[in-house]
Amino acid sequence: MKFLDKVFRLRENKTNVRTEVLAGLVTFMTMAYIIFVNPAILSEGAQMDFGAVMLATCISSAFATLLMGLVARYPIALAPGMGLNAFFSYEICGQMGVPWQIGLGVVFLSGVIFTILTVARIREVIVRAIPRSLKFGIAAGIGIFIAFIGLEHAGIIVKHPETLVGLGNLRAPYTLVAVAGIGIAAALMALRVKGAILLAILATGVIAIIGGVVEAPESVIGLPRIQTPTFLALDLAGVFQNLHIFLAPILILLFFDMFDTIGTLIGVSEQAGLLDCEGQLPRASRALLADSVGTMAGAVAGTSTVTSYIESASGVAEGGRTGLANVVTAALFVGAIFFAPIVALFGGGVPVATKVTLGVVTQTRYFFPVTAPALVMVGVLMMRNIAKIDWADITDAIPAFLTVTLMPLTFSIANGLAIGFISYPLVKLLGGKWREVHWLVYVLGALFLARYVFLPSGI
């Protein structure tokens, strides 16, 4: 115990081994869906082997999460990013017709550039330049975003052809299970029960099995079936031979991963109380390095861009404050390789046919009722940051408001952050407070604006 306290500074962060283990377990359970969703996306659009991508997902997630825990000592887990994997699968490999081996080379090069920017401390300077009002807006925006994901996973909100989103079928068994889970989580949190989120996940899982929504695993041990390995299959030569074609995809992956990561680091760290008295994140360069190296490792293993996960906020809500929580999460990702049937109970999802043509299912959606309640409750906890925004100063309020609202409405942390950076210097300039703005914010605002004008929208 003394060794762990010395390495992770548990007492300094007012935590203990039990709390960190619990936090790591909760974080893993809320993001375990990526183990199954990522292979599904890459196998569909990029024609990659499902089992090989599943293995690559577990390995890259474990490596990057462990690196973050040991090097940066933060309880922020990493895995192949949603949105980024869709861009890789459907845009790069699908519409552009690029073989997935070359696509992995594109991902690897974006990670290399990431690493160079991190070592040069350019990314850390960006983090430090973000105004406090935007930092609070980012944290609150991520709260709404993660709750939105939870409600979507529960089937409570669904896509609507006329109003974009609408209310789902509240009588559907998977939705009823999720609603029950939200009620259980709310009750446990109101009673201040330690480990409320984890207990709610476990209770919801039991309800799902009893209700026949998910099937109890027939076996405990099971390995992914691999026919076409993806490990070390990346093709860098193919990228360099056509670098003029792949420059835009590299920049898009670089852009979105960078600002997704920055937004997640700030939002989760604010929730955990890890920012210093000046609102800055200590050891930011180490955290950013873990992310960029994780992307490179992911490409080598055979998966799309690895990024920091907002679901880490669920572990923070359970008291996680150090990298020890990440060590636990990383170990569970490794364990998932051998215990896939158990992991599937929580992260495998419930398939629901959404389109049937001539009696044949042509479109399927997956819902995740067991872990959805945890995401909704974490969203509630993160929304408290909205009270820290200075709403009396309209030049602070408008950019913060746009950041908060556009994260969930565009389904992108990076887009919300971008609009915040564009609007902040503009509103300050119009309000005669241009001297309050860091020069780098003006530069970033211009770059974000140029991104929307000149680069295609892909994520």
- Residue 107 burial by CB count (10 A; 0-12/13-18/19+): exposed, middle or buried? buried
Q: Where are the domains of the chain?
A: 2-376+389-454
pTM as predicted: 0.76
Residue 348 has a pLDDT of 63
As a whole number, the mean pLDDT across the chain is 87
DSSP per position, 180-211? HHHHHHHHHHHTT-TTHHHHHHHHHHHHHHHT
Q: In this predicted structure, what is the pLDDT of residue 359?
A: 61
Q: Residue 402: name the closest of 127, 134, 164, 126 by CA.
A: 134
Helix or strand or coil: residue 13? coil
The alpha carbon of 384 is separated from its chain's Cα centroid by a whole number of angstroms, namely 20
CA distance linking residue 265 with residue 160, whole number of Å: 32
Tens-digit pLDDT string for the chain (459 aa): 778 878 888 888 889 999 999 999 999 988 888 888 788 788 877 889 988 999 999 999 999 999 999 999 999 999 998 778 877 887 788 878 899 999 999 999 999 998 998 888 887 788 788 888 888 888 888 889 888 988 998 999 988 888 888 999 999 999 999 999 999 999 998 998 877 887 888 899 899 999 988 887 777 788 887 888 999 999 999 999 988 788 878 877 887 788 788 888 888 888 888 887 777 788 888 999 999 999 999 999 999 999 999 889 889 988 899 999 999 999 999 999 998 777 777 766 788 876 655 566 567 788 889 888 888 888 888 788 888 899 999 999 999 999 999 988 988 777 888 899 999 999 999 999 999 898 989 998 998 898 788 765 544
CA distances (Å), origin 231, targets 62, 235, 302: 15, 11, 5
Per-residue pLDDT of 3-61, as tens digits, reads 887 888 888 888 999 999 999 999 998 888 888 878 878 887 788 998 899 999 999 99
Of 77, 53, 35, nearest to 304 (Cα)? 53
In the prediction, which pLDDT does 236 show?
94
**What residues contact 229, with CB distance under 8 A and at least 6 apart?**
49, 52, 302
At 122 the pLDDT is 83
CB 382 within 8 Å of CB 143: yes
DSSP-based three-state secondary structure for 355: strand
